Amino acid sequence: MKRILTIVAAAVLTVAGCGGGGAGGGAGNRISIATGGTTGVYYVYGGGLAKQLSAGIANTQATASVTSASVENIKLLASGKAQIGFSQADTAADAVNGKDGFTAEQPIKALARIYDNYLHLVLAPGVSAAKVADLKGKRVSLGPANSGTQVVARRVLEAAGLDPDNDVTKQQLSINESVQAAKDGTIDAFFWVGGLPTAGITDLAVSRPDMKMMDTSEVLPTMQSTHGEQYVSLDVDLAATYKLSGLIKTVGIANVLLVPDSMDEQLAYDITKTLFEKKAELEKVHPEAKKLDPALGQQVAPVELHPGAARYYKEKA
């Protein structure tokens, strides 16, 4: 049995990880949910899901863990240190194909597509840039190492004709660190990929109303032609979400909930069922849970559905 120690604020959460049996079987299921940073949607959503799984599946204790998000989450699943992981669909596609951040095909399956992420390219107060290429020579956080944000950030810069390693002064900060660095003026811009609203960015927009966010829709065609249809155009205006001026369009990426492919079928079924049947409770935790829908949930390609999840969707059809 392995342990992950996660520090959240001043509390230490100890999560015992093990491969779960069926609901109510054996000594029970201890489930670590790999999420993201504390001011991102993954962590908030994951905490709400953990509460519902603990209450709704017999002999189950689930806990949300802070991570660097997508890439790290998949590696935690593959190593047995986590049993559920949030991930962007583009990173999950890389994982099952053994490319980019992964040296081999990862042993993962999907439970559901849950909601869509949005690329945020935030300019620090006082910084001006009209298009992505204008970031050349600037101090830019691409997101933490082993994060889906960094995967997208690098691809966005490349689509704009920039070398992520040489054309910007690269930093690798979490969402919390990026927001603080923007306030302090130690970076000029940062990338973040997350749901709406993201608490850290809301805080920055409220405390520093001179903050700006860039429209990144210009790079979408190049990203699609280079990396595939995992990148989409979504009907959203980031300016309206964060009460900024202008119209800000962006790139969208689906989010999927992943598990190890070795997870017990009954447990995967029970988790999937709880996810959808507790939608109302999850909506109270974060509004992105309103997007939960069994028809959308099955759209996880190129990742395969776990047999337990597939059984749930078949029953709902």
Whether the CA torsion 257, 81, 227, 37 is positive or negative: it is positive
Spatial CA neighbour of 281 closest among 19, 52, 93: 52
The CA–CA distances, whole Å, from 308 to 30, 114, 119, 268, 303 equal 18, 17, 31, 5, 14
Q: Which residue has the higher pLDDT, 101 or 61?
A: 61
Domain boundaries along the sequence of the chain: 2-115+256-316, 118-253
Spatial CA neighbour of 232 closest among 217, 248, 247: 217
Task: Give pTM, 2 decimals.
Answer: 0.86
Question: 176-221, pLDDT tens digit by residue?
Answer: 999 999 999 999 999 999 999 999 999 999 999 999 999 999 999 9
**Cα distance between residue 149 and residue 255, in whole Å:** 12
Task: Select from 3.40.190.10, 3.40.30.10, 3.60.15.10, 3.40.1110.10 the CATH code of 118-253.
Answer: 3.40.190.10
- pLDDT at res. 230: 85
| CATH class of the domain whose range is 2-115+256-316 | alpha beta
**Helix (H), strand (E) counts: the chain:** 12, 12
**Cα distance between residue 147 and residue 128, in whole Å:** 26
Question: Quick one: angle between helices 148-159 and 89-97, nearest 10?
Answer: 90
Question: 230-289, pLDDT tens digit by residue?
Answer: 898 888 899 999 999 999 999 999 999 999 999 999 999 999 999 999 999 999 999 999
Q: What is the 8-class DSSP label of residue 155?
A: H
- pLDDT at res. 10: 34
